[in-house]
Each structure stands twice: as C-alpha cells, then as structure tokens.
C-alpha cells in the first residue's frame, strides 16, 4: 500500500500558522510592534531532492547572485517517506524558486504552496516539464502487484534517473534562474551548456555500453526505480516491485519467478537499489541452479544526504558509478 500523508501535512500547516500567529503576538507584546521578518536580497531556491539540488548548483556555478539553495530531503529520508516540517513549509513559503518532482509522493506540496507568502514564486514540477514523456508505472511479468484504492494512473516519479531527462530539466531550471537574475543570464547559460555537454557525454557512454553487451535484461530483487533509464537504452527488466512500492516482503511466487528468469537468461547478477537490506536478492540467488550470481546495487539517489554532498557526491558521479554496475550486469558468463 502507498503511504498517505495528507492529514499529517494539514496538521503541520495548522501548527505552522499557529506558530506564526504566536510569534506575531509575542513580538507585539514585547516591543509594541511586530518584529520585522528577516530579509535578504539573495535569490532563495528550494529543491526537494538531491538531483534537483545538484543541477541547480551546476547552473549557478560561481553563483554571482549569491543565491541560497536548500535541499529539503537532506537526511537520507527518501521521497516516498518525506514529511515536511514547519521549517520546511516556511522555507517554501518565502522562496523565489521551488523545484519538486510532482508525483504522488509530493501530494503535500499543494497545501504548502497554498500558504506561500511570495506570490511571485516560480514553481517547477518535473513531471509537468516532461509532459507526454512522463511514464506511467507499469507492472511487468512476475512483479508483485499492489492493491490501489485510486483508479487514476500513477506516474513513475523517478524522472532524474535518465540523463536525457536531466538535460531537459536542467534547461528549464536554468531558464527560471535567468528570469530571477537576468543580469547574470549569460553566465547561467554558459554553465548550463557546459553541464549538459557532460550529461550528453555520459549518455553516450551508456549507449556504447549497452550496444557492446550480450545481455540486454536487468533483474532487480527490489523496487525498480530505473524505468526511465532502461527505456532510454532499450533494455528490458524484471523486478520484485514497482519503483514507488512500500512493500518489503516478496511472495514465494515472485521470488520463484525471478529465480527462474535468472536461470533462463543466464544472468550474471541480481540487482538491488542502495541500502543494506538485500534479503530478497539473496533469496533469489539461493533459488537459482548455480547459486553464484553477484548481488550488485545501483544508486537511485533516494537516500543521498547533505553530508554526502559535502563529501563530494554529485549527480554525475552517482550516474558514473551506476554505469560501472550496469556494465557488470550486462556481461554474460
């Protein structure tokens, strides 16, 4: 089942409004007039997840406008589990540019934006930018299905795991920053062009790796957030769960099916996403004939922290690591 957040978000918003009113009253009682809000001439940019944050930082480059950039999900909580705090809502309320993914996990955003005090704010919804290129979640053969209460289509939120999408989204973010700071537009355009060249170069390396491979199928004993990536390069896949699943236990039927596929396709490894729990992948390997497949992890960037950023982690560095894992997975024994 998917996680429902709406009631908790409304509670947070209620607390936020109460806190603001209380602060105003205290200031009035203490000084005879409300304390002025802290003001800054710097552009305020708020992003929800790490890839958005890293794209913004590459576009800003030397940051001539002194823009202040916030990554809300900076402590390892992934997109599907995030609950904004009162401080998060205040950040969004007053920022100049807000960038978010726009899928089901971001249902809380509408309520947060309704409380925004900056009515000139530019808002970028990544799924809206992709438009018809956004993909609905799909259940492939053998995948464990979830029960859904809603009948509307659900879109795969993991749009950042496509280098082609990254280039398009970076262009849109750059245009927004240029609109906020036209005096430095040329610098932002140059930074964006240089960054997109790097994205395109890595995209070409992915294409070359897939072209040279004899194996064209990936198998995940885990959630599968890499739909955009495999579609970019014409790969097929099998997985235990869809990318946004909250499930952690795979059925006997799912494990058995995936183990048979490993045998049938002579796959050299079973893949997982980042994280310490590889029990499903281990069980799949134990149920194959050879029982000697590697278990390798690709990084979906859903648990990247602010500390990782400080230590030098970038979107490109993680996609480069994913390419090396992909090369291992596409080898045939």
State the pLDDT at residue 37. Answer: 39
pLDDT above 60: residue 17: no
147 pLDDT band (50/70/90 cuts)?
low
Pair 95, 45: CB distance under 8 Å: yes
pLDDT above 90: residue 228: yes
State the pLDDT at residue 315. Answer: 98
Q: Where are the domains of the chain?
A: 6-32+40-200, 213-329
HEC letters along the chain: CCCCCHHHHHHHHHHHHHHHHHHHHHHHHHHCCCCCCCCCCCCEEEECCHHHHHHHHHHHCCCCCCCEEEECCCCCCCHHHCCCCHHHHHHHHHCCEEEECCCHHHCHHHHHHHCCCCCCCEEEEHHHHHHHHCCECCCCCCCCCCCCCCCCCCECCCHHHCHHHHHHHHHHHHHHHHHHCHHHHHHHHHHHHHHHHHHHHHHHHHHHHHHHCCCCEEEEEEEECCHHHHHHCCCEEEEEEECCCCCCCCCHHHHHHHHHHHHHHCCCEEEEECCCCCHHHHHHHHCCCCCCCEEEEECCCCCCCHHHHHCCCCHHHHHHHHHHHHHHHCCCC
pLDDT above 80: residue 167: yes
pLDDT above 60: residue 14: no
pTM reported for the whole predicted model: 0.87
> Mean pLDDT across the stretch 269-291?
96
> Which carries the bigger pLDDT value, residue 247 or residue 275?
275
pLDDT above 80: residue 28: no
Note the CATH number of domain 213-329: 3.40.50.1980
pLDDT above 70: residue 34: no
State the pLDDT at residue 24. Answer: 41
Show Cβ contacts of residue 174 under 8 Å, excluding neighbours closer than 6 positions: 59, 188, 189, 191, 192
> Which carries the bigger pLDDT value, residue 326 or residue 147?
326
What does the alpha-carbon distance between residue 100 and residue 124 come to, in Å, rounded to a whole number? 6
Residue 119: left (phi > 0), alpha (psi -120 to 50), or beta?
A: alpha
Q: Which two tokens stand for residue 109?
A: 């955003």
> Mean pLDDT across the stretch 285-312?
96
**Fold match, 6-32+40-200 / 213-329:** yes
What does the alpha-carbon distance between residue 245 and residue 87 come to, in Å, rounded to a whole number? 28
Q: Which CATH superfamily is domain 6-32+40-200 in?
A: Nitrogenase molybdenum iron protein domain (3.40.50.1980)
Least trusted range by pLDDT, from 34-43, 168-177, 244-253: 34-43
State the pLDDT at residue 151. Answer: 61
148 pLDDT band (50/70/90 cuts)?
low
Share of the chain above pLDDT 90, in %: 71
Taking all residues of the chain, what is their mean pLDDT, rounded to a whole number?
87
Pair 94, 44: CB distance under 8 Å: yes
> Which carries the bigger pLDDT value, residue 30 or residue 291?
291
**Distance linking the first and last C-alpha atoms of the chain:** 38
The pLDDT tens digits of the residues spanning 53-107 come to 999 999 999 998 899 999 999 887 777 778 899 999 999 999 999 999 998 889 8
């Amino acid at each position: 089942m998917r996680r429902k957040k709406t009631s908790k978000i409304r509670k947070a918003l209620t607390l936020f409004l109460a806190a603001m009113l209380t602060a105003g009253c205290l200031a009035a009682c203490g000084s005879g007039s409300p304390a002025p809000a802290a003001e800054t001439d710097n552009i305020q940019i708020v992003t929800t997840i790490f890839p958005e944050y890293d794209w913004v930082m590459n576009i800003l480059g030397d940051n001539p406008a002194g823009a202040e950039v916030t990554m809300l999900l900076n402590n390892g909580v992934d997109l599907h589990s995030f609950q904004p705090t009162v401080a998060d809502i205040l950040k969004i309320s007053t920022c100049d540019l807000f960038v978010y993914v726009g899928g089901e996990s971001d249902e809380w955003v509408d309520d947060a934006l309704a409380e925004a005090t900056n009515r000139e704010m530019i808002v970028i919804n990544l799924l809206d930018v992709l438009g018809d290129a956004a993909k609905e979640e799909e259940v492939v053969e053998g995948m464990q299905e979830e029960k859904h209460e809603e009948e509307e289509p659900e879109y795969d939120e993991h749009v950042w795991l496509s280098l082609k999408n990254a280039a398009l989204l970076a262009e849109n973010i750059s245009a927004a920053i240029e609109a906020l700071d036209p005096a430095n537009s040329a610098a932002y355009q140059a930074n964006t062009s240089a960054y997109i060249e790097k994205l395109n170069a890595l995209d070409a390396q992915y294409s070359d790796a897939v072209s040279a491979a004899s194996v064209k199928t990936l198998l995940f004993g885990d959630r599968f957030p890499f739909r955009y990536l495999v579609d970019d390069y014409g790969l097929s896949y099998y997985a235990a769960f869809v990318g946004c699943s909250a499930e952690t236990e795979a059925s006997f039927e799912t494990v058995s099916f995936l183990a048979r596929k490993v045998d049938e396709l002579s796959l050299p490894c079973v893949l997982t996403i980042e994280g310490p729990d590889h029990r499903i992948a281990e069980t799949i390997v134990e149920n194959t004939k050879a029982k000697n497949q590697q278990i390798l992890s690709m990084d979906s960037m859903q648990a990247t922290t602010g500390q990782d950023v400080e230590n030098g982690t970038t979107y490109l560095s993680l996609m480069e690591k994913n390419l090396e894992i992909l090369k291992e997975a596409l080898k045939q024994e």
